[in-house]
């Protein structure tokens, strides 16, 4: 599995984080769950870790948008 993921230019941790952020975006837009509840659902150690991961993902998306412009 590691070899195949590497051949595709990704890793297990990258796929996990991408899936977590997609799910977080859906939950933030379509549910009344709190940040704490979402962080627990997604397996983060605490809401601070989730908030940091969300900030990093948001910065990456902004950077991609600037590259496209």
- CA neighbor of 64 nearest in space, from 12, 18, 6, 4: 18
Give residue for tokens 């989730």.
Answer: 50
Residue 31: count of CB within 10 angstroms of its CB = 11
pLDDT at residue 61 in the model: 75
pLDDT in tens, the chain (69 residues): 999 999 999 999 999 999 999 999 999 999 999 999 999 999 999 999 999 999 998 888 777 666 555
Q: How many CA atoms lie within 13 A of 55 on its CB side?
A: 6
CA 52 to chain centre: 10
Q: What value does the CA radius of gyration of the chain take, rounded to a whole number of Å?
A: 14
């Amino acid at each position: 599995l590691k070899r195949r993921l590497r051949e595709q230019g990704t890793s297990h941790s990258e796929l996990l984080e991408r899936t977590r952020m997609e799910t977080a975006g859906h939950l933030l837009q379509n549910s009344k769950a709190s940040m704490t509840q979402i962080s627990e659902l997604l397996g983060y150690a605490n809401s601070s870790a989730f908030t940091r991961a969300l900030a990093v993902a948001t910065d990456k998306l902004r950077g991609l948008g600037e590259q496209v412009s």
